[in-house]
Structure 1
Amino acid sequence: MSDPAPFIVAIPARYASTRLPGKPLRQIADAPMIVHVARRALAAGASSVIVATDDVRIAAELRDHDVQVCMTRADHASGSDRLAECAEQLGWSDDTIVVNLQGDEPLAPVSGIRAVAEALATSDAPMATLASPITSAHEMFDPNCVKVVCDANGYALYFSRAPLPYARDAFALKRDVLPSTVPFLRHIGIYAYRAGFLRRFAALRPTPLEQAEALEQLRALEHGERIQVRIAPEPFPAGVDTEEDLARVRRLLESAGANRE
């Protein structure tokens, strides 16, 4: 078996989170959250790990770790836009595989980071992402759970906060149980792209469906680009958006640390 294609992991991290101010620097067990995310990227075997941030406090916390910091503008609308500036600053070649790992994913599985990089490396699509099966009706009808519908070759047809695909006959009878014959998939917000496409994507105008659903990946589909979707090899725990999320992750990581002692 050939060695996997080399990839870098780029982590967009901004200080001014609306729901959880200073989120990247919130302490979890022995380190700030951004350090935990960087550790996951390093453990995945990335050839380099770059944190793209607009805040010197975040940069300072990473000074003693094997991570490169790229200082970016503060006015970026999305993580992809921030990484596009990073690609220009650092001069990444167009064929460089870049994994976009969100800065609020301290529990991101190493296998998932590798899987999305491999999905891009073995596909002719310019962008790749992951998904996992939806098993509960609550999740299916939750607008915070983003659904993805794929074609027979695993390319994304659409992403939505609505329940898709809509099982007409089954849901006409009841909506508390999912029919077992329908492939319901939850989108996992980790991406891989070639650096050349990342630059091109960030230069595209936001699109109507992207703005309606508040899902930036729809910009790629609306402009006719393909997105390869792979099933995640293991579950992705939810990221950190709220104080409740932070407390949950603290319990998990502190318990893991205690078990290693």
Structure 2
Amino acid sequence: MDLDVGRAHGARIYDYILGGKDNYGPDRAAGEESLEVWPALRIHMQANRTFMHRAARFLAAECGIRQFLDIGTGIPTAPNLHEVVQAVAPDSRVVYVDNDPVVLAHARALMSSTREGRTDYIHGDMRDPEAILAAPQLRQTLDLNRPIGLMLIAMLHFIEDDDEALRVARHVIDILPPGSYFAATIATDDFAPEPLAKVRDLYHSHGETLRWRTKAQAEQFFEGLELEEPGLVQMHKWRPDPIHIGKIDDADIAMYGAVGRKP
């Protein structure tokens, strides 16, 4: 499988800024230039990671979800989703999806399940939800007749067309059975528009997409779902750990986050 290291890739930029080693020159260049124009980017990305941990733990511990579909998992960074939910319920089952060959190369780390549970990996593109849902790995690991926790964490901004982004998310949500949940973080420039315009332009100049959306646009992804408290908020304000309350500046966070239940 071809590994295009001549252009930046969102997952590898994310990996670089969080201190990972699975990145290349264009990823590091895009990351450094972005940090120069918006130094809060590292804080923002760390907050995105911890949102995923809190949302996953909430779904496993408080909602009883035992099946998860994580589309756009990114390069493995402990604790991964299965480690979070299997710490709550060892029998949890997780299917990861990503289109980056670097993630595929590390997929073994994503499949180190507990004995009681199971994990699997699909090399697929979120723009083709039909192929993801038809993949044998998904059908062998998840029961589509039982509630599933769908995770789209820091992914929708890589689809610039608003209608396509909605179609992709809603296609998967519509397939899920009642009682399922949808957790997502959605990029916005509502709180720091000037530096984030520069970040967007830098991503574009390195060949990567980036689309900011307003709160009203973010809400569209959750239409028809019952939002869990506190609703759609900046992601660091969604059920924060007490030790983090008041320690993150709103201007340093460029994503909304929410969890919705399918009735």
TM-score by length of 1: 0.34
Relative contact order: is structure 1 or structure 2 higher (C-alpha 8 Å, sep ≥ 6)? 1
Greater Rg over alpha carbons, structure: 1
TM-score by length of 2: 0.34
